[in-house]
Structure 1
Amino acid sequence: MKFILFRHGHSLANQESRIVSSLEHGTKKNGGPLGTGFGLSDKGKQEVHLSATSLADHIKSYSTSTKKQTQVSILASPFKRTLETANLIHDTFQTSLDMHIPSPVQVLDLRERFFGEFEMQTPSDDLYTAVWNQDAIDPFHQKFGVESVATVTQRTTGVVRSEEQKVEEGAETFVILVSHGDALQILQTAMRGWSGDRHRQLEHLNTASWREVKWCPELAEVHRR
């Protein structure tokens, strides 16, 4: 089983430099600059198509080189921007990969990290930095009413562990996890075996970018037991 982290494309929230981190605001189909909620911007849709095409090429290359039976599963946060990203990935895969691609599945635990009192505020970069500075001191903190790094770690790694239970003999499954910047940053930190206070030390995932990840050797050994 191979896990691919895929951050949503550039969104209308990114466009406004606005934090949209709650289920209430992130899943709405109204409001926002266009009155359609905080889904993808036109720039984001183009980004996702290009990135999904490169991921499809990666999967095809793997299948060709290993001659293994390959399956694809797409799991997505229920936010509008992540669901739109997941559906664009699915559409691209349908035309690029010679296999059945199941429709994306919504997974609540892949949702955005909640940023408490900064919800719907701008400018997002300054507010994120204030939270990240506290993260580097204490991954359990809930200052400003934010969801702690530890809590995000627990729910996102839980998604990975749950999927690992579904391994099928004789098939290689690519699991695409479509989520948000902080959620994916924290997840890959945990899979690397690092403490949560170090999550900003990893290379950041830009919008619509993807990265294949795996457990570090020590944790992988535990998962094989």
Structure 2
Amino acid sequence: MKFILFRHGHSLANQESRIVSSLEHGTKTTGGPLGTGFGLSDKGKQEVRMSATSLAYHIKSYSTSTKKQTQIRILASPFKRTLETANLIHDTLQTSFNIGQIPLPEQALDLRERFFGQFELQTPSDDLYTTVWNQDAVNPFHEKFGVESVAMVTQRTTRVVRSEEQKDEEAKEDMEETFVILVSHGDALQILQTAMRGWSGDRHRQLEHLNTASWRELEWCPELAEAHRRK
């Protein structure tokens, strides 16, 4: 099983430099600069299509070189910007590259955005994020400003990975490889990568940042992978 982390495309929240981190605001189809919620901007839609195209080539290249059939599952945070991203990924893979019949994206609540507490709907987002990240580097369990701790985000995002691995173990065929595309948010994916690398949560900003609409293949570090195999 191969996991692809895919950050949502540039959004209307990014465009306004506004933090939209709660389920209440992130899933709405009203409000925001266009009255349609905080989904993708036009720029975001274009960059998702381009990035999904490169992902399609990556998957096809793998299946060609290994002679394995590939199965694809797409899981997405329930926020509007991530669901729109997931649907664009699905359409690009399905219609443009004929990889095979791909199930529609599934919503996964545990892939939701990290909640930023009292900074919700505030601007400028970069300055406010940095305020939180400085505290993360001291204590990954902190909940200052009412934010969700790094530790809690780690727990729920790794739960998604383990759940998918369990499905794979129950239905594995030797001639198949499953790609699971996890469509989520900057902090959630940054923290998940840190956990799968085996690093402590206070180091999550030390990893290379995932830009909007960018994707990265990820696996457990060898020590954690071996621990999983022993279970």
- Shorter-chain TM-score range: over 0.9
Q: Which runs of 4+ in 1 moved over 6 A?
A: none
CA distance in 2, matches of 1:57, 1:143: 43
The 1-side partners of 2:98 and 2:148 are apart by 38
* Matched letter for residue 197 of structure 1: D
**What is the aligned length?**
225
How big is the shift at 1:2? 0.1
Distance in 1 (alpha carbons) for counterparts of 2:99 and 2:216? 22
Find out whether 1:39 has 2:39 as its counterpart: yes
Matched residues in 2 for 1:10 and 1:75: separation?
19
Deviations 1:16-67 (A, max 9, x none): 0000000000000000000000000000000000000000000000000000
- CA RMSD after TM alignment: 0.5
Equivalent position SS for 1:165? helix
- Name the CA distance, whole Å, in 1 between partners of 2:109 and 2:167: 18
Kindly provide the amino acid, as one letter, of the partner of residue 229 in structure 2. Answer: R
Q: 1:54-203 to 2 correspondence within 5 Å?
A: 54-95=54-95, 96-167=97-168, 168-170=172-174, 171-203=176-208
CA–CA separation in structure 2 for the residues paired with 1:42 and 1:114: 25
- In the alignment, the residues of structure 2 paired with residue 180 and residue 191 of structure 1 have an alpha-carbon distance, to the nearest angstrom, of 16
Residue 205 (structure 1) aligns with:
210
Distance in structure 1 (CA, Å) of the matches to 2:226 and 2:98: 32
TM-score between the two structures when normalised by the length of structure 1: 0.99
Q: Is the 8 A contact 1:60 1:97 kept in 2?
A: no
1:11 to partner: Cα distance: 0.1
**In structure 2, the residue corresponding to 1:4 is in which secondary structure?**
strand
SS at match of 2:35: coil
CA deviation after TM superposition for structure 1 residue 169, in Å? 2.0
What amino acid is the match of 2:79?
A: F
Deviation at 1:97, TM superposition (A): 2.9
Q: For 1:138-188, what per-residue CA distance to the aligned partner results, in whole angstroms no more than 9, with x for missing partners?
A: 000000000000000000000000000011222100000000000000000
Which residue identity is paired with 1:25? Answer: H
Q: Distance in 2 between matches of 1:57 and 1:190?
A: 28
Whether the aligned pair in 2 keeps the contact of 1:56 and 1:97 (CA below 8 Å) is: no
Structure 1 residue runs without a partner (length 5+): none
Deviations along 1:83-108, one digit per CA (max 9) or x if unpaired, are 00000000001121330100000000
Counterpart Cα distance in 2 of 1:62 and 1:8 = 24
Question: How far apart in 2 are the matches of 1:94 and 1:169?
Answer: 22
> How far apart, CA to CA, are the structure 1 residues paired with 2:98 and 2:27?
30
Residue identity opposite 1:208 in structure 2: A
Partner of 2:11: 11
Give the Cα separation in 2 of the matches to 1:213 and 1:189.
11
Using the size of structure 2 for normalisation, the TM-score is 0.97
Structure 2 spans left out of the alignment, 5+ residues: none
User: Partners of 1:162 and 1:224 in 2: how far apart?
Assistant: 14
Point out the more displaced range, 166-175 or 100-109. 166-175
